[in-house]
Amino acid sequence: MSIGQPVTRLDAEAKVTGRARYTEDLLPAGVLSAVYIRGSVAHGRVLDMDLSAALALPGVEAVFTHADVPRLLYAPAGHPFSLDPDHADVADRLLLTGHVRFHGDEIGVVVARDELTAQRAASLVAVSYEELPVLTDPREAMAEEAFAIHPGGNIVKQDGFSVGGDVDALLAQADVVVEGEYQTPVTQHCHMEPVVAHAYMEDMERITVVTSTQIPHICRRVVGQALGLDWSRVRIVKPYVGGGFGAKQDVLLEPMVAFLAWKLGRPVRMALTREESMITRTRHAMRIRGRAGFARDGRLLAMNMDAVSNTGAYASHGHSVVSAGGGKLCSMYPHAAVRFHAATVYTNLPIAGAMRGYGSPQIIFACECLLDEAAKALDMDPLDLRRINAGRPGDVNPRSGKPIETHGLADCLRLGRERFGWDERRAAAQITQAAPEIRRGVGVACFSFNSGVYPVGVEISGIRLTLNQDGCVTLQAGATEIGQGADTVFAQMAAAVLDLPVTSLRVVSTQDTDVTPFDPGAFASRQTYVVGPAVKAASLELRARILNHAALMTGYPASALDLKAGSLVATRQPARVFMSLKELALDAYYHKNRGGQLTAERSVKTRSNAPSFGCTFVEVEVDIPLCRVRVTDMLNVHDCGVVINPITAKGQAQGGMAMAIGWALYEELLVDPRSGRVRNNNLLDYKMPTFLDLPDLDVAFVQTAEPSGGFGNKSLGEPPLLSPAPAIRSAVWNATGVKADFIPLTPKALFPLFRDAGLLEGAR
Amino acid sequence: MLTLSCTINDRPHELTIDPRSSLLDLLRNQGLTSVKQGCGVGECGACTVLVDDTAVNACLYLAAWVHGKRIRTVEGEVRDGCLSPVQQAYVDAGAVQCGFCTPGLIMTTTAFVQSCREQGRDPEDITPEDIRRAHAGNLCRCTGYETIVQAVRQALEQPDPSKMDTESTAP
Amino acid sequence: MYAFESYHRPQSLTDAVALLAANPFARPMAGGTDILVRLREGHKDYADIVDIHGLPELEGMSADRGELRIGSGTTFAALMTSSLATRLAPMLIEAAGWVAGPQIRNTATIGGNICNGSACADSAAPLLVLNAHLDLIGPEGQRLIPLRGFHLGPGRVERRPGEILRSVRIKSEQDQGLGTAYVKYSMRQAMDIATIGCGAGVRLRDDQSNGIVDELRLAFTVAAPTPVRCPTAEAAARGLPLSQAVKAVAEALDQDVSPRTSWRAAGDFRMHIIRTLAERMIRTAAKRFASSAANHQEARTC
């Protein structure tokens, strides 16, 4: 049984040898390089572009501007297509624009024989603008009189919900009501492979795009929409991907390289610089106001939350992000009434899109900060307060009205309390909390997440299995490997059902929309959950075909035969081996009168969405005079259902925790409010943590058995990022008595708080 | 154009290059696509290769400077069809995720392990802090670094291949 | 590919000086870790290159009667593994460890770190504290000048047209009778530029760490448009017991530094960090002075 085994990643050797090929390693001969001409104002209309110097530069093949591209507005968001026009993504993009909406917006493109020439030519294009008012703060952008960044105004959408009871009445009845206003920053994914793609044509009709994307099948549709082509005229190939974290759950360069290859009839590549990649997609900054009412015994009665989400210059994933975040509130503490309202607002910042957590980190930050306020007001241990409110199996999610079959949150808290040594650490930290220089503090926070997008969007997943001549089974999935280990767990699932060693599975890691089964791709922490049933169905089907062929070969009925450890055996006497799978396969392929290639392909729609849960325990050390916070110990405990692979599961958890520490303490994309220019779109000035900025990261699992998951499993990709930030903020409050209602808790941001609290007097 | 001679993964090369080329350009043009460009300015370490056994960022190093030098990339670390001890340690420790930073990290570790051996450092005296400091020029967004620290530790504890023969013949 | 306009690789220092003298726009490039970054950002000022990488005359370290000579082409990694430099200038080694990350330290040179004129150069504070001298060679010949005063403003140094820094010279710390300490305050513990860098050198009148300050040398990076020494604070500390000296320094520092507000950090925050680091580094340097004096004493009595 391969489920739950620490199976080595299937692609580990490809990657440690440097043989794994990524998009830029697959360039076709004769490929041209294209570079964007980017707007140098944050908001304005292009009045004139003088291309003469660029066109005169030797080696320049072509220059296109906003006047040359199809007048087709398209929506790049990596969502499954919706049959409901009211649910369609916001189509607000053109391939190139004459209305610059952020500093760096794409107004033209140069194609040249090499990148250096293209860059030089792009720098030679003189552009004149009619400058327009620059709006970087959503509050200004929301004002009635604000200049409209898009024709429909600056509010992309606003809506909300209220469930579980009368929030106002419950707040009025509560013994304790707490409130706060919380702010989170614009951050960036920093996938190590920049944004890259290339395209070519092999005939007059069809365009092939090779790209670093999380969503090949969505990408095909959006390229078709952006260019006005039938979708099957586009073929997307996704090789190994050097990280995405949501940035590549968006259609980025693909329509442009397809357009250029189409127009020029030659292969064209684009490889954004790190600086360009960092202004391509970001995480939404949010400002969230919340109120929560509690009974004296700690029960959360009602929570009201109002969020404003800054989506930047174009909608991309738009309102879905904050909306998805709000939706997660209802399963964590399901006994409370929840009212949630959110607005998503255009500003002249780079485009915010999907990023690991997808709105939930921000909303959970606010929610957990409110719980800490309450713990203080009620004089309770913040861990006990969460234990009291954590849902239990069978509780009903007040929003969906569906029971939560597996709810491991309380068990996560219990396990974490012990493993982390919460009570002992909390007591030990307290002793340091009057020291002038170095103080310690502890914090805890919880989260819940979903395991896909259903019922907001369709959940569809396709798997194809082929028995090879040598008895190995090739697995093709529409779901994508982007570093998280998806291919490996799919192989483990198939191996488990077919009772084969994992080494007998050959996973095709590349998705090619011409041949790969349909699946929208890697997002929403969905793949293990929604692909599981498809793998199971396809594996059972292949198993049945194998047994049927064995029946033809042996003369026994298929029901008397079984597939065990790679051999065909008698069901009642498993020790009696008829033949190996290889022998069966050779017969199926080459016998002149029977059999054929044995394959199974299943496309499965999932109509459930199990919430996953977990919590973070953290200890910090604060150097008060230096205003510096260091995370010294962190533990994440996850209920992700059955752990399919403990190595890759721990890897997901640690990576998410690391990214969360960055979000809580280090990272913010800084924008000059006047020019709208991003100041730190590089890996030196944007403070993504290095080896020396992170502690060892402890991970534990509470394994529930989720009945709706194909193998008892639930989501794990994004969840690890959700709870560390509020836990860190809480630990800093615990250590210093200073409560910050924002992240990141950088020294320069803590300095005024520490000074105003009198912590910096005398202590130096 | 400039002509230069160097060895790349133990094979001698005579090359004619544009003097504006970086070492990254040179190596990728030779088909060594393990050398990844993550930033182009020495801030991420994804393009780390060894020049005379010293780790450098190939993106921030002139191709012209490698005349007469020995270059190692991760492609050359596989010998006789076997992974190097460092490569194997990365596999075993679960230190690989998206894999884009992996070739550069493996070369940094390779240089680190080699220099620890040359200095005669006892692996037990090498702290996690030492390992982290020695790898701080390589960014990774997937792992949170801890599994990489474990991989480096495992690589340090492997027997030194250069000493294996002498030890086995010792009385 | 780097967008060089012109590129020359001289085979000798004399040729390098001649090439630089012939082209007033050309810059010498050694490790390239600064210039190649600027060039990629599109700065045309860095497009004409005289490549002095690996010139043998700029390599190597030597000591002559307690004076350490460091070839300007010496990388930070070479410095850190040099037993000579570690013995004679431990403060510089401490600072070298803060430079970027291992790969950059393997190529970036001390000469480049000084000559790029950056206010945040990691080597600047220790070299100022240690009263380093610079040996420059140019069309007019050789000259030896103190580092103090070499920095003129952001990106500007007192390097005359055609001149190349040949070596840095430092009298050994022991001969200077100092205990020293350096720390870089930055947002990350590696791969970062300093928010503030602080170096202190302390000599006490007796061997107690709480003794009287006989001499204080204090230097900062990023605390002013150039790396600076702190004459007012240094004078204020002289003759005071350590605990009073650090207070006097904190009050006098305003006269010596002028941290500016930028998007990276506010001026008042930087000033607070300057004061905090000054106290910590003076105390650490004094502790090291005392312990090395004690060791010295012990060695003599044995």
DSSP symbols for A15-72: HHTT---BGGGGPPTT-EEEEEEE-SSSSEEEEEEE-HHHHHSTTEEEEEEGGGS---
Supply C226's token pair. Answer: 């150039």
Q: Which residue type occupies C299?
A: A
Q: Is B87 on the interface with A (CB under 8 A)?
A: yes
On whether residue A165 sits in a domain, the answer given is no
pLDDT band at B160, cuts 50/70/90? confident
| Model confidence pLDDT, tens digit, residues A696-735 | 999 999 999 999 989 999 999 999 999 999 999 999 999 9
pLDDT band at C300, cuts 50/70/90? very low
Q: Is C14 exposed, middle or buried (0-12, 13-18, 19+ CB in 10 A)?
A: exposed
- Asked if the Cβ–Cβ distance from C187 to A760 is below 8 Å, we say no
Residues in chain C: 302
Q: How many domains are contained in chain A?
A: 3
Domains and CATH numbers, chain B: 2-76 (3.10.20.30), 85-160 (1.10.150.120)
The long-range contacts involving A452-456, CB below 8 angstroms and separated by at least 24 positions, are: A452/A524, A452/A525, A452/A526, A452/A529, A452/A530, A452/A606, A452/A609, A452/A715, A453/A79, A453/A80, A453/A523, A453/A524, A453/A526, A453/A609, A454/A606, A454/A607, A454/A608, A454/A609, A455/A607, A455/A609, A456/A320, A456/A324
Which residue in A has a C-alpha nearest to residue C186's C-alpha? A747
pLDDT at res. B169: 43
Residues of A in contact with C191 (CB under 8 A): 683-684, 690
pLDDT at A607 over 60: yes
pLDDT at res. A720: 98
- Rounded to an integer, the average pLDDT of C97-113 is 98
Q: Distance between CA atoms of A396 and A672, rounded to whole angstroms?
A: 46
Residues of C in contact with B22 (CB under 8 A): 1-2, 36
Q: Distance between CA atoms of A99 and A105, rounded to whole angstroms?
A: 9
Can you tell me whether residue A294 is helix, strand or coil?
strand
Domains and CATH numbers, chain C: 6-51 (3.30.43), 59-173 (3.30.465.10), 177-301 (3.30.390.50)
A317 and A253, same structural domain? no
Q: Where residue A472 sits, what CATH number does that domain have?
A: 3.30.365.10
Residues of A in contact with C269 (CB under 8 A): 627, 747-748, 751-752
- In chain C, what percentage of residues exceed pLDDT 90? 92
Chain B, residues 18-77, CB within 8 A of chain A, namely: 20, 32-41, 43-44, 46, 73-75, 77
Residues of B in contact with C4 (CB under 8 A): 19-20
A262: phi then psi, degrees, rounded to nearest 5 = -65, -45
A750 and A624, same structural domain? yes
Contacting A with CB below 8 Å, chain C residues are 1, 3, 42, 101, 185, 187-193, 195, 250, 263-266, 268-269, 272-273, 275-276, 279
Last residue of a domain, one of A556, A586, A605: A605
Residue of B55, B62, B133 with shortest CB distance to C32: B62
Can you tell me whether residue C301 is helix, strand or coil?
helix
pLDDT at res. B159: 85
A207 and A322, same structural domain? no
Residues of C in contact with B41 (CB under 8 A): 36-37, 40
The owner of tokens 């020359």 is C8
A616 and A597, same structural domain? no
Residue of C192, C195, C272 with shortest CB distance to A760: C272
Chain B, residues 108-147, CB within 8 A of chain A, namely: 128, 131-133, 135-136, 138-147
Residue of C1, C187, C279 with shortest CB distance to A687: C187
- Asked if the Cβ–Cβ distance from A626 to C1 is below 8 Å, we say no
Pick the closest to residue C130 from C192, C85, C73, C195 (CA basis): C85
A579 and A500, same structural domain? yes
Return mean pLDDT, chain C.
Answer: 95
The neighbour count for residue B60, using CB atoms within 10 Å, is: 28
Determine the distance in angstroms separating the CA of B105 from the nearest CA of chain A, rounded to an integer: 9
On whether residue A548 sits in a domain, the answer given is yes
On whether residue A71 sits in a domain, the answer given is yes
pLDDT at C302 over 60: no
pLDDT band at A762, cuts 50/70/90? low
Last residue of a domain, one of A605, A629, A664: A605
CB C180 within 8 A of CB C285: yes
pLDDT at A193 over 80: yes
Residues of B in contact with C80 (CB under 8 A): none
- A438: part of which helix (H) or strand (E)? strand A438-449
Residues of C in contact with B48 (CB under 8 A): 103
A340 and A262, same structural domain? no
Which residue in A has a C-alpha nearest to residue B31's C-alpha? A25
Return mean pLDDT, chain A.
Answer: 97
Which residue of A10, A35, A214, A691 is the best one to mutate when testing the B interface, meaning the one whose CB has the most B CBs within 10 A? A691
- Asked if the Cβ–Cβ distance from A764 to C190 is below 8 Å, we say no
pLDDT band at B168, cuts 50/70/90? very low
Residues of C in contact with A760 (CB under 8 A): 272
- Rounded to an integer, the average pLDDT of C156-165 is 96
- Asked if the Cβ–Cβ distance from A687 to C275 is below 8 Å, we say no
- Asked if the Cβ–Cβ distance from A691 to C250 is below 8 Å, we say no
On whether residue A142 sits in a domain, the answer given is no
Residues of C in contact with A438 (CB under 8 A): none
pLDDT at B167 over 70: no
Residues of A in contact with C42 (CB under 8 A): 123
Residues in chain B: 171
On whether residue A167 sits in a domain, the answer given is no
Residues in chain A: 764
Residue of A625, A691, A746 with shortest CB distance to C276: A625
- Asked if the Cβ–Cβ distance from C101 to B54 is below 8 Å, we say no
Q: Is A20 on the interface with B (CB under 8 A)?
A: yes
Q: Is B109 on the interface with C (CB under 8 A)?
A: no
Strand order in the sheet with A561-564: A561-564, A567-570, A577-580
Q: Distance between CA atoms of A113 and A83, rounded to whole angstroms?
A: 42
Enter the DSSP assignment of A678: B
A321: phi then psi, degrees, rounded to nearest 5 = -70, -55
| Model confidence pLDDT, tens digit, residues A427-468 | 999 999 999 999 999 999 999 999 999 999 999 999 999 999
A231 and A103, same structural domain? yes
A576 and A628, same structural domain? no
- Asked if the Cβ–Cβ distance from A116 to C263 is below 8 Å, we say no
* Pairing label, strands A234-238, A268-271: unpaired
Which residue in A has a C-alpha nearest to residue B151's C-alpha? A16
On whether residue A761 sits in a domain, the answer given is no
Q: Is A592 on the interface with C (CB under 8 A)?
A: no
- Rounded to an integer, the average pLDDT of A662-673 is 97
A495 and A439, same structural domain? no
- Asked if the Cβ–Cβ distance from B64 to C37 is below 8 Å, we say no
Which residue of B57, B110, B133 is the best one to mutate when testing the C interface, meaning the one whose CB has the most C CBs within 10 A? B57
| Model confidence pLDDT, tens digit, residues A107-134 | 999 999 999 999 999 999 999 999 999 9
Q: Is A627 on the interface with C (CB under 8 A)?
A: yes
A651 and A720, same structural domain? yes
Determine the distance in angstroms separating the CA of A268 from the nearest CA of chain C, rounded to an integer: 19
Is pLDDT larger for residue C41 or for residue A424? A424
| Model confidence pLDDT, tens digit, residues C74-95 | 999 999 999 999 999 999 999 9
A322 and A252, same structural domain? no
Neighbouring residues of A153: CB distance < 8 A, sequence distance ≥ 6: none
On whether residue A168 sits in a domain, the answer given is no
The owner of tokens 């002992």 is A424
- Asked if the Cβ–Cβ distance from A192 to B92 is below 8 Å, we say no
- Rounded to an integer, the average pLDDT of C267-286 is 97
pLDDT at res. C296: 67
Which residue in C has a C-alpha nearest to residue A685's C-alpha? C192
- Rounded to an integer, the average pLDDT of C274-300 is 86
- Asked if the Cβ–Cβ distance from B62 to C77 is below 8 Å, we say no
Q: Distance between CA atoms of A444 and A620, rounded to whole angstroms?
A: 11
pLDDT band at C294, cuts 50/70/90? confident
On whether residue A137 sits in a domain, the answer given is no
- Rounded to an integer, the average pLDDT of B105-122 is 97
Residue of C9, C37, C102 with shortest CB distance to B136: C102
- Asked if the Cβ–Cβ distance from C188 to A692 is below 8 Å, we say yes
Chains in contact with B, counting 3 or more C-beta pairs less than 8 Å apart as contact: A, C
Residues of B in contact with C107 (CB under 8 A): 56-57, 60-61
A62 and A49, same structural domain? yes
Last residue of a domain, one of A223, A257, A277: A277
- Rounded to an integer, the average pLDDT of A519-527 is 98
Domain range enclosing A549: 460-605
Determine the distance in angstroms separating the CA of B21 from the nearest CA of chain C, rounded to an integer: 5
- Rounded to an integer, the average pLDDT of A289-298 is 98
Chain A, residues 184-223, CB within 8 A of chain B, namely: 189-194
Q: Distance between CA atoms of C302 and C296, rounded to whole angstroms?
A: 10
- Asked if the Cβ–Cβ distance from C192 to A625 is below 8 Å, we say no
